[in-house]
Structure 1
Amino acid sequence: MTKKLISGGTLPAITLSTVNDGEVTLGSVKKQGNWQIVTIYRGLHCPVCHEYLTRMEELKDDFTKLDVELLTVSGDPLEKAQKMVEEHNLTIPVAYDLSIAQMKELGLYISEPRSKEETDRPFAEPATYALNADGKLQLIEISNTPFNRADLSELVESVEWIKENDYPIRGTYE
């Protein structure tokens, strides 16, 4: 069963291998006090993901100036994740082999391939999680389609505004 993540909560501590950096744990930053933005992408088969990750790479320095660490994740195996990195010269960490059980832990929508030509396994639809300096979920954006995603330029501006204005985590009413 898919779980719903809680605004102000934390990401499940899922540890995954990355194409270039060894291992990474979702919600764990390299430098204390940094934010982390975790983006789930559908996989190498998705043309929208190619554009999105290219744009993320272009904005990497803008996020870095805000003390934001980027991480992108998919259910692709290593070979496909490597190809995505190589095709787009990605320097942001790219994690792979997110399992269906882990997708459900993250509250993701999961789709079956439309054909064997598309891909060979079920895959997660896109999502973006922004964790603040306390490791709490400040922003949760989960989509069931490849087309509805957080605008990355707007995300840079939003993080900057939230930090400058000490804006609280929203959506916490129970």
Structure 2
Amino acid sequence: MTNSVKITAGNIFPAIEATLLNGTTVDMSKAHSGADWQMIIVYRGKHCPLCVRYLNLLEEQQEALKAIGVSVSAISADSKAQLEGTMEQLSITYPIAYGLTEQQMQQLGLYISAPRSEQETDHNFAEPGLFIINDEGNTQAVNISNTPFLRPELDVVVRGLTFVRNQDDYPIRGTVTY
């Protein structure tokens, strides 16, 4: 087992270059669509029905997130062809990218899994992660899991972000070091 460095709350979030289905390369850490904060969802890939469900549930939160200035993007280690297959199961309007590399997974501190079989997928993949990047480019909130069934409830995330965004100078939590 190797050690992985976890993203630290309050630190600058790294630039994560990724490719959208239309071939556009984007920095996943940058807010878009008029928002000043960014939410990045890392999902396991096409082979994961829980991920597909989560991504579709996230679409239901888009209006509430837009209202508080938070844009959303999703990414996995899947290939372009695998993402095209996933899109058949999704009804989403936010950007979704493919090709997350193992180096990027490590940079984000994600858990990485090997496929159980070739029927599952043909590459190592990231377990779920959710990152909130504030208007200064700092990591405001982090949730990293080693399994697809331990994810934050999206309505709770949206309520929490709404609370934080409506406060004057709400601090980034979890920054005390020893």
1:1-174 counterparts in 2 under 5 A? 2-20=4-22, 22-30=24-32, 34-166=36-168, 167-174=170-177
Q: Percent identity?
A: 38
CA contact (8 A) 1:12 1:26 kept: no
Residue 29 of structure 1 deviates from its aligned partner by 2.0
Checking the alignment, whether the CA contact within 8 Å between 1:126 and 1:144 is kept in structure 2 is yes
Amino acid aligned to 2:70: V
Contact kept in structure 1, 2:56 and 2:90, CA below 8 Å? yes
The 8 Å contact of residues 42 and 124 in structure 1, kept in 2 or not, is answered as: yes
Task: Verify the 8 A CA contact 2:35 2:66 in the aligned structure 1.
Answer: no
Q: What is the CA-CA distance between 1:85 and the residue it aligns to?
A: 2.1
Distance, in Å, in 1 between the alignment partners of 2:28 and 2:159 is 23
What residue ranges of structure 1 are gaps of 5+ in the alignment? Answer: none
* Partner Cα distance (1:15, 1:23) in 2: 7
Distance 2:151 2:47 in 1: 17
Tell whether the 8 Å contact from 1:40 to 1:124 is kept in structure 2 after alignment. Answer: yes
Q: Which moved more, 1:36-45 or 1:79-88?
A: 79-88
Distance, in Å, in 2 between the alignment partners of 1:21 and 1:63 is 26
Deviation per residue, 1:87-112 (Å, 9 max, x gap): 21322100110011110001000001
TM-score by length of 1: 0.94
For 1:33 and 1:78, locate their aligned partners in 2 and report how far apart those are by CA, in whole Å: 27
Q: Which whole-Å CA distance do the structure 2 matches of 1:169 and 1:156 have between them?
A: 16
- Is the partner of 1:165 in helix, strand or coil? coil
The number of residue pairs the alignment matches comes to 174
How far is the alpha carbon of 1:31 from its aligned partner? 6.0
Deviating 4+ runs (over 6 angstroms): none
TM-score if structure 2 supplies the norm length?
0.92
CA distance in 1, matches of 2:32, 2:61: 19
Residue segments in structure 2 that go unaligned for 5+ positions in a row: none
